[in-house]
Structure 1
Amino acid sequence: MSAPASPPSRTDPVKIAAIGVGIALLVLGLKFVAYLMTGSVALYSDAMESIINVVASGAALLALRVAARPADDNHPYGHTKAEYLSAVAEGVLIVMASLSILKVALPELVQPKVTEAPWLGLGINLVASVINFAWANVLLRVGRSSRSPALQADGKHVMSDVVTSVGVLVGVVLARLSGWHVLDPLLAVMVALNILWSGWHLLSSSVGGLMDAGVDPETAALLRQVVSTHATGALEAHDLRTRHSGRLTFVEFHLVVPSDMTVQDAHAICDRLEQAIQEAIDGAHITIHVEPQDKAKHSGVLFL
């Protein structure tokens, strides 16, 4: 038997993603103004990452709208994996942005140039970073509460952008005060490598979701504990399998009951298990295969 997923979070991820597009555009504008005022290649690298933020926010919005569609005949498990596609696309874009930054920064390592009018430009960049920091926390909080891979990926990217921006600001100030202008392109190269690592990590985790990776060991242990605690009357549970699909977690296992147990009693045990698992794991969609005693494997979770 199968149980539906628990209700979604009260905060609408689609609305959050729509607001995110506007904020990403605002931050992009501020950072490009800062770059144009200073001519700093490090600030250029920071602005380039903001372009990716805009594209990623738009992709997350589209993915969340698709993921919110109910299940249909062609997609009986829903459309939640659309969020992983968005995260994969964001990872690819991040990698492309890092390569673009390296293309501009590497030549200036040989012939660094003096930045112009840095203080006002750095101030504008700082304002953009403060906005990004506040918004990244919103994305991460809502992404966790709604179990949205798209929002969590976007939040992690924006937060990495904040860390990058702080490093760039400190470096450009040091370059200006010390006269070591090579620090500017050197920082840009470091930013590009950091972005490249972030993109690779995001790609790896998103592909894991598309490939139906199971839950983490801690969640798997929690599942076994919940089943063991609430399966009174059953003999054994085996072949526990899990996978993620966006904000949903699919849980499937076989439950062995005494051969003389009535269907009604077996159904009552399943109902109890489904409720307990849903309370332990938000967004759980449970499928339990009930089997008679002679199908026991004497492995997995034993109750006798």
Structure 2
Amino acid sequence: MKAAAVWLTPQRLLLVSVVVALVTIGLKTGAWWLTDSVGLLSDAMESLVNLASAIFGLMMVTIATRPADEDHPYGHHKAEYFSSGFEGILIIVAGLGILWTAGHRLRDPQPIEQVGLGLALSVVSSALNGLLAWVMFRAAREHRSLALEADARHLVTDVWTSAGVVAGIALVSLSGWLWLDAVVAMAVALNILKEGAHLVWRSSQGLMDVSVEPEVLTQIQQVLDGFAHQRGETAIIRFDHLNTRKAGQRRFVDVHMHMPAGWTLGRAAALRTSVEQALMSAVPGLRATIQLLPSDVEAHFDDPRDLK
């Protein structure tokens, strides 16, 4: 399992996503050409978005792996948020395009042809997307990659889109209601717009330096509590001014550690090193910055002059 996780890097999975997108574009375009269904056309259009998103995601993940440099001392991890935002925007554009096409077809319904073969091609493409999305979700959790998660969510949306289109076309064939094909396409478009808005929102939150997840914050606090120490009513070691943020795969924590003023610098630095190592062991990918202060010294923030 570990060997598979090492091999299934974000770059490799997004490269696979590009290949799968090309295959599904061919299958879904063939399904639309055979049936002349606007529902299947909307499905094929979303696969084009899958391709563009996977290519852009691959570019951003490659940039995110670059080491820190003079201009980017904290690394390039936030590049993944651009991938997620770009994918969300493309999804919204695709959804609006589908609505426009379906609106024309609703006013002028057309018969659907060769339903069986067309639906078979759509089902095969959906199976490919579903399998890839499952693998991507697992890898996204392993690598803490927003770009992978965004692509996986988009693929899942694509699977549900295809399922709705297949069900709609089947109903059209059974009922003879040609307008139902356009209605299904519109429902698909609305679902696509919702997913696109969600991805844009998540990427915007990442670019604004939101705090780490609650479960990660709990792990950090547990580590600090393990080092905190009191002697009677007096706190010998204590922590305060805890701040966290996340940037792509990285997590950052800043905290003040108070200790007796009589300690030597070497003793204080050794304890700080122990705390940093414990934090990074508890939370993979974490970078800790700990400021040393005497027990009787408090740091002051939010000076009114800084807020002007």
TM (norm. structure 2) is 0.90
Asked whether the 8 Å contact 2:31–2:122 carries over to 1, the reply is yes
Q: 1:144 aligns with which of 141, 146, 168?
A: 141
| Structure 2 residue aligned with 1:266 | 268
Higher relative contact order (CA 8 A, sep 6+): 1
Q: Is the 8 A contact 1:136 1:159 kept in 2?
A: yes
Per mean C-alpha deviation after superposition, the further-off stretch among 127-136 and 257-266 is 257-266
Matched, 1:130 2:127: yes
Matched, 1:281 2:279: no
Where 1:113 maps in the other structure, the secondary structure is coil
Give CA deviations for 1:216-250 in whole Å, capped at 9, x if unaligned.
Answer: 33322332222112344753211111111110011
> 2:44 maps to which residue?
47
What one-letter code is carried by the residue in structure 2 that aligns with 1:269?
Answer: L
Provide the C-alpha distance between the structure 2 equivalents of 1:27 and 1:270, rounded to a whole number of angstroms.
Answer: 53
Q: Distance in 2 between matches of 1:239 and 1:156?
A: 36
**Aligned-partner Cα distance in 2 for 1:269–1:133:** 49
Partner of 1:25: 22
Match of 2:33 among 36, 60, 68: 36
> What is the TM-score when the length of structure 1 is the normalising length?
0.91
1:71 and 2:68 equivalent?
A: yes
The residue number in structure 2 matching 1:172 is 169
What do the CA deviations read for 1:253-285 (whole angstroms, capped 9, x no partner)?
Answer: 111111112223322322222222223222111
What is the aligned partner in structure 2 of residue 205 from structure 1? 202
Deviation at 1:64, TM superposition (A): 1.0
The one-character-per-residue Cα deviations of 1:15-45 (angstroms, maximum 9, x if unpaired) are 2211221111111111111111111111111
Following the alignment from structure 1 to structure 2, what is the Cα–Cα distance between the partners of residues 224 and 121?
56
SS class of match (1:76):
coil
1:62 is displaced (CA, Å) by 0.3
Deviations 1:96-120 (Å, cap 9, x if unpaired)?
0001001100122233222111110
Give the corresponding residue for 1:162: 159
Asked if the contact 2:227/2:237 (under 8 Å) is kept, the reply is no
Alpha-carbon shift at residue 10 of structure 1 (Å): 5.7
Q: Which letter maps to 1:72?
A: D
Q: Which runs of 5+ in 2 are unaligned?
A: 231-235, 300-308
- Give structure 1 stretches of 5+ with no counterpart: 1-7, 298-304
In 2: Cα distance, 1:277 partner to 1:159 partner: 35
Q: Distance in 2 between matches of 1:105 and 1:11?
A: 38
Quick one: which amino acid aligns to residue 181 of structure 1? L
Corresponding letter in the other structure for 2:281 = E
Aligned with 2:296: secondary structure? helix
Query: Which residue in the other structure is 1:302 paired with?
Result: none
Query: Displacement, 1:146?
Result: 0.8
Letter in 1 for 2:259: V
Tell me if the contact between 1:231 and 1:273 (Cα under 8 Å) persists in the aligned partners.
no
CA contact (8 A) 2:140 2:148 kept: yes
In 1, distance between residues paired with 2:175 and 2:281? 58
CA distance in structure 2 between the aligned counterparts of 1:53 and 1:155, rounded to whole angstroms: 10
Residue aligned with 1:250, SS: strand
Counterparts of 1:181-200 in structure 2, within 5 Å, are: 181-200=178-197
Separation (CA, whole Å) in 1 of partners of 2:240 and 2:39: 55
Contact 1:72–1:78 (Cα < 8 Å) also in 2: yes
What SS class does the counterpart of residue 235 from structure 1 fall into? strand
Partner residue of 2:241?
A: 239
**Alignment partner, residue 59 of structure 2:** 62
Q: How far 1:296 sits from its partner (Å)?
A: 4.1
Q: Which residue of structure 2 aligns with residue 100 of structure 1?
A: 97
Change (3 A) 1:231 1:9: farther
In 2, are the aligned partners of 1:236 and 1:296 still within 8 Å (CA)?
no
Q: Which SS does the other structure have where 2:113 is aligned?
A: coil
Alpha-carbon displacement from aligned partner over 1:65-97 (angstroms, at most 9, x marks no partner): 111111111111111111111111111111100
> Aligned pairs, how many?
290
CA distance in 1: counterparts of 2:92 and 2:207, whole angstroms: 19
Tell me the residue number matched to 2:255.
253
